[in-house]
Structure 1
Amino acid sequence: MRRCLVLLFAALSLPVQAAQLVLELGDAPIRWQTEDLLKHPQTQSISITDDVSYKKAMHYRAIPLSALLTGVSAQDHLQAVALDGFAAEMPAGPLLTKGPAQAWLAIEDPASPWPGLGKGKPSAGPFYLVWTNPGAGHISPEQWPFQVASIRLLAAVAERFPAMRPAPGLADNSPVNLGFAVFQKNCLACHTLNGAGDAQFGPDLNLPYNPTEYFHLEYLRRYIRDPQSLRQWPQAKMPGFSSSVLSDGELDALLAYLQHMAGHKQP
């Protein structure tokens, strides 16, 4: 028994290991090792006032993400994939800007590991996409992927996944199309729809049933704002979307999109 405890303590005491970030931005993948990123001339110390994942002020060694996105233009589309299957879909434009909201890749130094994200949980490392002054760019919590393993240059969501597109003929500024944009920004990182999408984290939002088919809309609205207010369980992972992240108008548009897609199921 004593030997088992010693071995367990030794395992828990192992230092964070160096990691590899894969960038798929062109013909051949680019691989960055932790050590090389920490030594990069643009890597610097930054402070995050209100970290989305840690819920407090944090300090990181980080590099402007734009410094790594060689050949990427503002019109391109990127996907950051985490170790657990979380897949954040992000237009490249905000990731390339140098202010006022700026994207950074925080790098976990094996010699100075970050704290765990909760009791018994790993840290946000080895790589974590963080933002300085996120409010200036209306940055969603889903645009703060942690435990990032790769960043890929891909076609836009509507082009890659036609099964989640609204019916043709709707105006670009219709609530349904606006809601589709909200869905891509805030939901697609965790959920698929009509079986389409790269996320491996949450359930499909149209098959077999759309949440608008089994939730009264007012309760669905409350669920999106604060999931634990309707369903409480310790393993819950869905975050709440406050009005500062998802305005009432954006929430209305999201519900309009989901209602619309309930009538456009594709197996």
Structure 2
Amino acid sequence: MKSLLYCCLLWLCLLPLVHAADLRIDLGHGAKTWSTAELLSRADATTVTITDDVAFRRPMHYRAVPLLALLPGLSAGQHLQFVAVDGFAAEIPATTILNQQDSQAWLAVEDPARPWPALPENAKGAGPFYLVWTHPQGVHVSPEQWPYQLAVIRTLSGVDARFPVIVPAVGATAEVRRGFDVFKRTCFACHTMNGEGDSKLGPDLNLPYSPIEYLRADLLRGYIRNPQSLRRWPEARMIGFPTQESLSDTDLDAVLAYLRYMAKHKAAH
């Protein structure tokens, strides 16, 4: 009994160490690794209130660091990728982070001594690092641009340069090109297109078939708004875009136009 009690006490003592983690930031001039303890002890770490948190769907309070303070020398021409431990890869242009509006990006840091609550759809939680925004509406931040379980932040060429096979041709309509822009900041964080992309969480959206080819437009529209409306699957990772703020009808129409366009421009794989 004493040995069992000793093991339990030892486990409780070591628990914070188990949850401590590192974040790697690479802006192309030498990578920097930050530990949980280093970030929490920074002089600019402060308590941030997020009134409408994307992951938790309720107001949340975080100990956080201004993201720009961790990205010295970031310029408007750069492009950032935020990679989570599960392979989720959010694409965010530097201009979104450098904006002069009220919007501000923060790196929320989970304190091992005060862990965050469980997520509604992900038992592994949002920690140890989570990109959150105050006043995100100022620069139209997409729900997919709130990546959690962060492991790496790095600069890369933009999506158009890295994956030219998914870029609409010059003659594509304005709606298709708008749909491509929306696709990059929403769908591309989980899905590939024509076999191209860094994230592998969801299926490819064009090979061998585009969803536009096997789902009625109204069903696909409903699925994007609420994935459970098509298939009741409690373990599903896709949370959908239920509101006009998360994805307007105009942007949703544009995404469907892009999918229809790409269904006629499949790449050989």
The alpha carbon displacement at 1:75 in A equals 2.4
The AA in structure 1 aligned to 2:203 is P
Local SS of the residue matching 2:19: coil
Give the structure-2-normalised TM-score: 0.91
In structure 1, the partner of 2:204 is 204
Match of 2:81 among 71, 79, 82: 79
Local SS of the residue matching 1:46: strand
In structure 2, the partner of 1:264 is 265
Aligned-pair Cα RMSD in Å: 2.3
Over 3 Å counting, the alpha-carbon distance change for 1:11 and 1:199 in structure 2 is farther
Q: Aligned partners of 1:145, 1:235: CA distance in 2, in Å? A: 19
In structure 2, the partner of 1:222 is 222
The alpha carbon displacement at 1:92 in A equals 1.0
The AA in structure 2 aligned to 1:257 is Y
The alpha carbon displacement at 1:35 in A equals 1.2
In structure 1, the partner of 2:178 is 178
The AA in structure 2 aligned to 1:262 is A
Deviations 1:198-250 (A, max 9, x none): 00210000001001100111111111111111111111111121222111111
Which structure 2 segments of 5+ residues have no match?
none
Number of residues of Structure 1 aligned to a counterpart in Structure 2:
263
In structure 2, the partner of 1:26 is 28
The AA in structure 1 aligned to 2:161 is E
Regions of 4+ moved over 6 Å? 6-13
In structure 2, the partner of 1:149 is 151
Give the structure-1-normalised TM-score: 0.92
The AA in structure 2 aligned to 1:100 is D
Over 3 Å counting, the alpha-carbon distance change for 1:237 and 1:12 in structure 2 is farther
Q: Is the 8 A contact 2:80 2:155 kept in 1?
A: yes
Over 3 Å counting, the alpha-carbon distance change for 1:226 and 1:75 in structure 2 is same
In structure 2, the partner of 1:255 is 256
Identity %: 54
Local SS of the residue matching 1:188: helix
Over 3 Å counting, the alpha-carbon distance change for 1:258 and 1:46 in structure 2 is same
Deviations 1:162-217 (A, max 9, x none): 1211123336xx11111100100110000000010000210000001001100111
The alpha carbon displacement at 1:137 in A equals 2.2
